[in-house]
Structure 1
Amino acid sequence: MRNIEIKARIRDINVLISKAKNLSKEEGKILKQHDTFFYVPKGRLKLRKFEEGNAELIYYERPDTEGPKLSLFEKAEIDSKSVDSLYSVLDRAVGTQIRHLFLVGQTRIHIDSVEGLGDFMELEVGLNEDQSPTDGERIARDLMKKLGVSKEDLLSGAYTDLLNKKV
């Protein structure tokens, strides 16, 4: 699976949520999740546990650059019976993340509050088989403009990288 992704620090979470509601024409959905990252020789691996008790193990590769970038990923669903034992072994990396989710066409807008870091925004433009990364970048840049996200706000890396820099 692949998508085009950007990550940016946001200045005012309420303004961005309001703009995302207007673009998506919906109230959005709040997802409470806890991401635990693991050190791996290449790419990134995280266990994402949801409030409902289920989880996903997600492996992804993407460059650590600012702006729109291609992300390749694989997901494995983990049922609620298995997740607690797996999670208890791995719960050492990152704090709770509150995520607002909005859908605009083929793009997921995530507005995150990350414990110990602050507020952020991610765009994930899901690419169809007939779309190029350039098509996805164009969609991402258009949404950045509509959401008021500037080039200076863009981040590279993952939240865990930012947390590790603080230590």
Structure 2
Amino acid sequence: MTYQDFTLKARLYERVAVEQQLLALGFTYIGLDAQRDTYFRVSQGKLKLRQGTIENLVTHYERLPDKSTEKTVVYQYDLNPSSQQITGLYAAHEVVGVVEKSRRIYRLANVKIHLDTMATGEEFLEIEVFDHTNQLPARELEARCHQVLASLGIATEALLPTGYFKQ
């Protein structure tokens, strides 16, 4: 699959206010996804199996710093993997970590917003601006990340590196 995206993540302190602002900006609430992400040992990047109530996928990717955002380089992106594909992952790769979270998903055009709640109660916001055609200029995607961040009133000081699992 041809795919590119830019991502920003920030600590979330005012979830209800952010949710109200997302709706005011025209975002659609997709739903609450209970996600279990299993990470497998690979030589480069991260290989992840996501099993959720909304999103299910296998993805092999790495996120590279690109100015103040992170550009995602995707090597594999398979939506709704089969049980054979999942069994094959476990047979071919060692599990190195599991992350469980609840994720509120919002979407507007090519922008997805994730409002994540970890088991610890910590909350995070993730902005993902993507292009499944690989035709949009990278600068445009990155600029859109920052536009959304500003429109939600999130200070750049709240930004964090993306990814909950650190190898």
Specify which of 34, 44, 47 is matched with residue 45 of structure 1. Answer: 47
Higher mean alpha-carbon deviation, 124-133 vs 139-148, is at: 124-133
Task: Find the residue that maps to 1:11 and give its secondary structure.
Answer: coil
Give secondary structure in 2 for the equivalent of 1:148.
Answer: coil
Please tell me the residue identity of whatever aligns with 2:159. Answer: L
Q: Could you tell me which amino acid in structure 1 is paired with residue 136 of structure 2?
A: Q
Residue in 1 aligned with 2:4? 2
For 1:98, the aligned partner's letter is S
1:103 maps onto 2:107 in alignment: yes
Identical counterparts, % of pairs: 22
Classify 1:68/1:133 alpha carbon distance in 2 versus 1 (closer, same or farther; 3 Å).
Answer: same
Report the TM-score, using the length of structure 2 for normalisation.
Answer: 0.80
Q: Name the amino acid aligned to 1:138.
A: A
C-alpha distance 84-32 of structure 1, shift in aligned 2 (>3 A): farther
With normalisation by structure 1, the TM-score equals 0.80
Cα pair 1:5 1:140 within 8 Å, conserved: yes
Q: When you count strand as a share of all residues, which structure comes out higher?
A: 2
Give 2:149's match in structure 1, choosing from 119, 141, 144. Answer: 144
The secondary structure found in structure 2 opposite 1:94 is: strand
Q: 1:96/1:75 Cα in 2 relative to 1: closer, same or farther (>3 Å)?
A: same
1:153 to 133, 151, 158: 158
Provide the C-alpha distance between the structure 1 equivalents of 2:26 and 2:165, rounded to a whole number of angstroms: 29
CA distance in 1, matches of 2:130, 2:97: 27
Q: Is the 8 Å Cα contact of residues 11 and 123 (structure 2) preserved in structure 1?
A: yes
Aligned residues: 161
Partner in structure 1 of residue 37 of structure 2: 35
* Other-structure match for 1:135: 140
Q: CA RMSD in A?
A: 2.8
Residue number in structure 1 paired with 2:82: 79
Deviation, structure 1 residue 25: 4.5
The one-letter amino acid of 2:137's match is S
* Alpha-carbon distance in 2 for matches of 1:152, 1:159: 19
More helix by share: 1
